[in-house]
Amino acid sequence: MRDIMGMMGKVKEMQAKMEQMQAEIAELTAEGKAGGGLVAVVITGKGELKSLKIDPSLFKEDDVEILEDLIVAAHKDAKDKAEALAAEKTKALTAGLPIPPGFKLPF
């Protein structure tokens, strides 16, 4: 019975740490760039777009498709960086736990 109570205490402790980690991840920001820095985006740890900067040299009628592609690429770059930062934080919290490869936290 003692083991179950100790286990429940650890579960509550882990839950509190997960909530704190989720709050920290939500506050993270990551910047992604494309086209050699001609397009830059900043997103939060939750993937919300915070800012978008476009070099004025891209504002030409015949370059609309290129600009659209660069925006998508910059967003993907920022998202990849934010996910890497979140994974790094999660790894520190879950050190020693037998979590299957590819299993993502927070849920």
CA dist 64 and 46 (Å) reads 28
Express each pLDDT in 48-85 by its tens digit: 888 999 888 888 777 778 888 889 999 999 989 988 88
Residue 77's pLDDT is 92
Model confidence at 20, pLDDT cuts 50, 70, 90, reads confident
Q: Which domains does the chain have, with CATH numbers?
A: 1-93 (3.30.1310.10)
Read off the pTM.
0.61
| Buried residues in 13-22 as b, exposed as e (16+ CB within 10 A) | eeeeebeebb
